[in-house]
Amino acid sequence: MGTHRPPRSRFRSLLAAAKCRTTLVVVLTVLVVGGLHSPQDVRLVHSGSDHELDQEPRATISIDGVDYPNPLQAGNGKSVDNATTWENSRRPELLEAFRRHVYGESLPLPVEQRFDVTADESSGVTRKTVTIGITGPHGTGSFDLKLFVPNSGAPPRGTFLMIDHRGSVGEDPQQSSDYAPVSTITDAGYAFAAIDAEDIAPDDSGTYRSKMINLFHDPGAELPEDAGRTISAWAWGASRAMDYLETDPDIDPSRVAVIGHSRSGKASLWAGAQDTRFAAAVSNNSGSTGAKLARRGDGGVGAETVADINSSFPHWFPPTYKEYDNREEALPVDQHELLALMAPRRVVVGSAANDTNADPEGEFLSYVAAARVYELYGLGDTGLPSPNWKPPTDTDFRGPAMSYHLLSGGHGLSAQGWDLYLNGDLFAR
């Protein structure tokens, strides 16, 4: 079953017409799919060459002397030694395990989705606000996508789609902050898009259901134990934004990176894992239930554990994840397998040496461990000088499909971090 949309050429001409006017509204409607529980088709973007790995079937791998689940051993005990088996059976199995044990079930595809677009030109940038209208079985709502496309004449080098939990992206293309430096990004030749997480699922344990989640779940009934909460809803929202980006004539949908910082970095990884339309997932300081290995606990540095995150942010993950409070070793998955779900697309881990709550060493070890899945495609080069902690700080390490850096400072998405992302050639091998 797939989504049904009017032919793209029609969208493109509508949008091209739209661009000539200063303001306008479009239009696009879509689609209807009943009963689908995955947020989008999982289409594989690149099978690469099918490298056979010489793998002993082993349920665990050792990371820093501790046993972790082996991403390359399937539930049936067989070892996964080629990309085809990975894509056809192990990858879906791992996604299902992350849904069941960590992030919860995703919201389904909307019953109907429409895009109302307002566009104008400002400061050498085409600026669009796209209201994404969503209809689910329990009602209709919307959230906005802000889009800034440089007007240099050349197509954008790629698009960064930010999941923004700080509400920090306004209308002004000249706005700039370390966290969301819109004009720096467009000046570098990239398009920048942002969705406000609060409009999808408010970051509040009392009201998080009120926007998108209740369109799909009976507002008068308890949310099912296994239903995703905010992190899952934000990831779903990124996929709905991608639905729009696929229709926009200014955007090359094969060059879209989903990016998020911290809590949104967790969501960007989960979005990228599920939705193979994203060419890259960028996680900045994503920490616990992001890039960081759960089994490291507090990492010896007081980092945030599964129990900590579930108690401080009870609305981020479903109750099913809380079953692993203080028993991470019982989790059937660990976070290196989340990073591996990006393969063969680019995974980007941005860490900071003093971000102890996120356990930067745990993020690093997870990144290194994910490489064994990229190796199925011959893309296992992490770009690092050594698989051992601690790498040099303030340096970009880039392999053909994996990127990593460790900034010397603390928690934050900074100008320095953006500089590495913008110069990191994230859309090339």
Q: Please, what is the minimum distance in Å from the beta carbon of residue 260 to ligand GCU?
A: 9
Q: Please, what is the minimum distance in Å from the beta carbon of residue 166 to ligand GCU?
A: 9
Task: Select 123 or 312, whichever has its Cβ closest to ligand GCU.
Answer: 312
Which member of 288, 310, 403, 414 binds ligand GCU (CB under 6 A)?
288
Distance of CA 319 to the CA centre of its chain: 22
- Cα separation, 126 vs 152, whole angstroms: 10
List of residues 6+ apart from 283 with CB closer than 8 A: 260, 265, 266, 268, 269, 290, 291, 347, 348, 349, 350
Task: Select 288 or 335, whichever has its Cβ closest to ligand GCU.
Answer: 288
Which member of 262, 310, 351, 403 binds ligand GCU (CB under 6 A)?
262
List binders of ligand GCU among 330-389 (CB under 6 A): 357
Which member of 304, 334, 337, 363 binds ligand GCU (CB under 6 A)?
304
Task: Select 358 or 371, whichever has its Cβ closest to ligand GCU.
Answer: 358
List of residues 6+ apart from 368 with CB closer than 8 A: 382, 384, 387
- Cα separation, 244 vs 241, whole angstroms: 5
Indicate the DSSP class of residue 176: -
- Cα separation, 10 vs 15, whole angstroms: 9
Q: Please, what is the minimum distance in Å from the beta carbon of residue 60 to ligand GCU?
A: 26
Backbone angles phi, psi at 13, to 5 degrees: -70, -35
Q: Can you say whether the dihedral through the CA atoms of 67, 228, 281, 36 is positive or negative? A: positive
Task: Select 328 or 381, whichever has its Cβ closest to ligand GCU.
Answer: 328
Task: Select 312 or 386, whichever has its Cβ closest to ligand GCU.
Answer: 312
Task: Select 288 or 351, whichever has its Cβ closest to ligand GCU.
Answer: 288
What is the SS3 assignment for 100?
helix
Q: Which stretch binds ligand GCU (CB under 6 A): 15-23, 37-45, 181-189, 304-312?
A: 304-312
Task: Select 136 or 272, whichever has its Cβ closest to ligand GCU.
Answer: 272
**163 forms part of the interface with ligand GCU (CB under 6 A):** no
What is the SS3 assignment for 13?
helix
**263 forms part of the interface with ligand GCU (CB under 6 A):** yes
Q: Please, what is the minimum distance in Å from the beta carbon of residue 418 to ligand GCU?
A: 17
Q: Please, what is the minimum distance in Å from the beta carbon of residue 374 to ligand GCU?
A: 25
Q: Where are the alpha helices (DSSP H) in 71-130?
A: 83-85, 91-98
Site residues (vs ligand GCU, CB under 6 A): 262-263, 287-288, 304, 309, 312, 357
